[in-house]
Chains A and B, each alone.
Chain A
């Protein structure tokens, strides 16, 4: 090996370094050992952060304007459809407007702080309650409640879970990038679900459609 070639390979023209480098080769390659150590350390940190820290960074927690007791309302009325009703034209009303609430809450009915907030801050001021909606889908998704609930006779619980039995509203976890609720991806960052209502992603729609109709359906059925 010519001197020049040797120098080039070792990346140095310094004789002393040259000697060290030869020594390293001889002494069991501890550089590789360090590399592996760093690899493992970095892997562990990133892996664990990805699973444990990332979800809490991705979502911000927001409190609803005031608490709402679904269980109480279901008990007092005849079920989900008393408030989340279908309009005459078949379209779904979604979260009720103040006017619907006021059919019963013309004046304060109970003595809860939450109802008081509703009456004083919203009804009296004529402002609609800015609820955070856990199941809100992007604008590019077309979904017909009528086709599923009226047509296919599906139960609300299948997609929305047992929210009707809840006595308080959980904090809304807003995805900092998309602005949508954590409930769409699902509580599990793995994306694994135990119940059909644990996730509301496109694949979940497709899975059910595959099972029930034998086809995932076409793009334009939802993306109009």
Chain B
């Protein structure tokens, strides 16, 4: 017997035949095919009961009703809530991607304090004790007024608690980041003499004349406007868009009036002039409600005749007259103002010029018209107990006070000649009547002072380092403030510069009351309920404030008699709360004010023309304007990963922002499509790419707003016990060991948006509006050259 190669051959063949005749091959083939079709590392969504929970979207002031679809209790999808008065089942791209904000990689997982370049994890008790200690220090040295607070809006119970806290501590330095709603309120108080918000019944108007408002680009209450726009054809309603570029709204409009940027108010007055001259206005209404109407009529006829306006705006006089005639002929014409999405305050006088058109038609407080929605005291707060220290420091004016001259009424007919004196600085304010304080002014004053007059800053639901004009200067100011506390759920541009972060729940994790905003013609209060989480060690900001107040002595602690925020929101909402919890919202009919409306045209005595641009024309030959589009979130929240994917590569190409310019402008400055260019303005410069666009007028450069978020926190997060950072979606923490302490590199970067593009707000400076004291900048002078 000899084993040779034939034996091996036999062995091999025998084995093969044996295996083939057994089920091994066939079974393994089947198993492997199942395995490859269901890779074990591919996450499989959990199956379970499907439920829907209704809540309110709080990503923008629009406050749409949403239905959150859950599987086995886990929120998986956001849909619009059918039958909800604002959006009736509709939802925007930011709304549907709301869940991504829950799992944002830049979410702050627990309270953290800055230690050198790094962040140290704190327990909530330690964090609250640290913050309360800082407040006590300020009060002990009699400097309670150097506590300041910036919040996104002053609506709702949470914001009310922040305001209350400032008052109880003894500081007037409470600021909101204002948008067009505030300017409309100021205008209504000046023109109609009542405390009310503006609302536009766009869904019932048959002629919308928009002065640069991005009606379908996210202006006001976006989904409400989408619905109004989609029914426009059926209703045979016309849309006329005044816009210096062919925006989406301009594309969808029946008439596009490309007026030169900054001349919108002149055009509005030109249309007024044409209406008055041709007797096309509602004379009865002007007579019964109008105050100083004659003066106004003469003023516009003389100064803003269509022929004169045509020169400044670039719109034909004949076209102006035609629009005036159509506007006057319409059944329910409506003029709207607030540039882009209406996220910046804007110029009150520009709003006044536009609103004069509404006043000339008398289409006010009726279907399809302009509505004045009187402010109701919805929340019943118990009185604040201010102790002596608080009363003393509360007497000091706010740091960001804007002193405004009282408007000088000119009774005489003819051309108004009053001069607006806008003094500045809190110290001189006593001689003037303070009408306003502005967050932009606050940071300006901090920057111009040798030592920051604000020693402790609280920031909630706002990202001033990104959204305010001259954002770089705002960052400088924040850096100058000795102690900054952020309540942001995310490591956003402002939180990155903070000293202490007390992370809030995201909107889907917390209860809060919301009022319909965005100038929507609906009167709704609603309750946003937690539909997920909390997935991290975060708190409702209301609870955080109550805990901080409780850690302080005397008046502050007793001004916050609630144990929890739940108790507080139920208490202050009173009888409404039961309905809010059960129904989710309370909608009431819009009602005209009890007294007949007065239209006081004397405001125009202060009309000094459009808000001027920063920078001299000689060194900066072009005009830079920001573009607000629906696809990019440009307010407090950054765009979601989903939203950023919808942005065209003519706006953002990889990491570069593209600026829009007319080929003619490009030829003049010597750049062509796709070139890198340096854009310089009086406040900053940036490297951008060029996108040529025939739809923008020569001499104007448009730059998208909402890009250029800074890219995550610098430094590492040192966890308490050296454990790994709670991760989202498998983000890996890199562990380094230094001196026996485990450190984790924080996955606090939002790489989906961070570091992409340039923030246009770093190129545009703020301009104080002489009427409101708010920031009225709408652009800036600029020059551009090939990089």
Contact = CB atoms under 8 A, between A and B. Distances in A.
A35 to B, nearest CB: 3
Given A54-B23, A93-B49, A178-B34, A35 B18 contact: no
B480 to A, nearest CB: 50
Interface string A151-193: 0000000000000000000000001011110000100011100
Given A35-B6, A139-B44, A43 B18 contact: yes
A181 B199 CA distance: 62
B28 interface: yes
A51 interface: yes
A109 interface: no
Contacts of A54: 22-24, 27
A64 B632 CA distance: 51
Given A39-B11, A42-B10, A42-B11, A91 B49 contact: yes
B567 interface: no
Main secondary structure of the interface of A (DSSP, over half): helix
Interface string B22-49: 1110011011101101101000100101
B50 A34 contact: no
A50 B24 contact: yes
Contacts of A127: none
Interface in B318-363: none
A178 B4 CA distance: 41
A36 B10 CA distance: 6
B14 A38 contact: yes
A58 B23 CA distance: 12
B17 A43 contact: yes
Contacts of B27: 54, 58, 185, 189
A50 B22 contact: yes
Interface in A90-128: 91, 93-94
Given A30-B1, A39-B10, A87-B49, A45 B18 contact: yes
A4 interface: no
A218 interface: no
A46 B37 contact: no
A54 B44 CA distance: 29
B579 to A, nearest CB: 26
Contacts of A43: 14-15, 17-18, 21
Contacts of B7: 31, 34-35, 37-38
Contacts of A93: 49
A90 B649 CA distance: 45
A224 B14 CA distance: 43
B2 to A, nearest CB: 7
B31 A47 contact: no
A34 B14 CA distance: 12
A154 B21 CA distance: 37
A41 interface: yes
A36 B7 CA distance: 7
A86 B413 CA distance: 79
A192 to B, nearest CB: 10
Interface in A24-66: 30-32, 34-51, 54, 58
A69 B28 CA distance: 34
B31 A177 contact: yes
Nearest to A37: B10
Interface in B532-591: none
A138 B34 contact: yes
A50 B28 contact: no
B71 to A, nearest CB: 10
A89 interface: yes
Contacts of B4: 31, 34
Nearest to B24: A50
Nearest to A47: B18
Interface in B164-201: none
A138 to B, nearest CB: 5
Contact of A38 (B11, B30, B35): B11
A45 B24 CA distance: 13
A219 interface: no
Contacts of A185: 27, 30
Interface size classification for chain A: 35 or more
A36 B44 CA distance: 51
A178 B35 contact: yes
Given A30-B2, A54-B27, A46 B38 contact: no
A46 B14 contact: yes
B734 interface: no
Given A43-B17, A45-B18, A178-B31, A34 B2 contact: yes
Contacts of A140: 37-38
Nearest to A52: B22
Contact of A39 (B17, B22, B28, B47): B17
Contacts of B24: 50, 54
B28 A47 contact: no
A56 B83 CA distance: 59
B22 A31 contact: no
B10 A47 contact: no
A34 B38 CA distance: 46
Given A177-B28, A177-B31, A180-B34, A45 B15 contact: yes
B14 to A, nearest CB: 3
A94 B14 CA distance: 47
Most B C-beta atoms less than 10 A away, residue of A39, A54, A94, A189: A39
B22 A46 contact: yes
Contact of B6 (A32, A46, A177): A32
Interface string B42-64: 00100101100000000000000
B141 to A, nearest CB: 50
Interface in A75-93: 87, 89, 91, 93
B594 interface: no
Contacts of B19: 46-47, 50
A219 to B, nearest CB: 13
B6 A31 contact: yes
B694 to A, nearest CB: 46
B255 interface: no
B12 interface: yes
Contacts of A91: 49-50
A34 B13 CA distance: 13
Nearest to A57: B24
Given A50-B18, A51-B23, A34 B6 contact: yes
B737 interface: no
A37 B2 CA distance: 12
A157 to B, nearest CB: 23
A214 B27 CA distance: 28
A50 B21 contact: yes
Nearest to A191: B23
Interface of A: 30-32, 34-51, 54, 58, 87, 89, 91, 93-94, 138-140, 175, 177-180, 185, 189-191
6 contacts: A39-B11, A39-B17, A41-B14, A44-B18, A50-B18, A190-B23
8 smallest CB-CB distances across A and B, nearest first, come from: A50-B22, A46-B18, A42-B14, A35-B10, A39-B14, A38-B10, A39-B10, A35-B6
Given A50-B19, A50-B21, A54-B23, 15 more contacts: A31-B2, A32-B6, A34-B3, A35-B9, A38-B10, A38-B14, A39-B17, A44-B14, A46-B16, A46-B22, A51-B22, A51-B23, A91-B49, A185-B27, A191-B23
